Amino acid sequence: MRYAADSFQNDRDFVIVAVRAKAEALHYAAERFQSSRSFVLEAIQANAEALRYVAGNFQSDKTFVIEAVKANVQALRCVTDGGFVLEAVKANAKALPYASEGFRSVLLSGGEFILEAVKANVQALRCVTNGGFVLEAVKANA
């Protein structure tokens, strides 16, 4: 995409196919696509890793990040803000396994993060492996 002609960088379908093959292609798409909320969400739906290449204003927008994770649950792998991760899990407990390694470490050890996630959506318990913590979470959720 980096060396593609402007006509290709401005071709919506071409860019989506390129992003599906390699998420980084979004970075080289025409500015009008990079700044279009609907297009960027479509790109993330095609390839979750595209979230790494969206403009900073989208990455810092909690509402957008939640929409991105709803569009492609695997996009949660690209989210590094704990508050955003928690909100995404509240919206969709199935996103929890896709949390970054740091958040999975917290998950496996129990902790406040997963307790909040379980309080928000009890289905998050499916990802917890610590039996003592499961009991604590169930009590807190009762």
pLDDT(141) > 60: no
Q: Are 14 and 22 in contact (CB under 8 A)?
A: no
Pairwise CA distance, residues 138 & 22, whole Å: 41
Question: What's the pLDDT tens digit per position in 71-99?
Answer: 999 999 888 887 788 788 777 777 777 88
Give the separation between CA 97 and CA 76, rounded to whole angstroms.
Answer: 9
The more confidently predicted of residues 49 and 141 is 49
pLDDT recorded at residue 53: 95
Cα torsion 14, 19, 22, 28: sign = positive
Give the pLDDT score at 140. 57
What predicted TM-score, i.e. pTM, was given to this entire model?
Answer: 0.75
Q: Among 62-66, 104-108, 115-119, 134-138, which range has the highest average pLDDT?
A: 62-66
Closest CA to 30 of 44, 40, 20, 41: 40
Q: Regarding predicted confidence, which is higher, 43 or 126?
A: 43
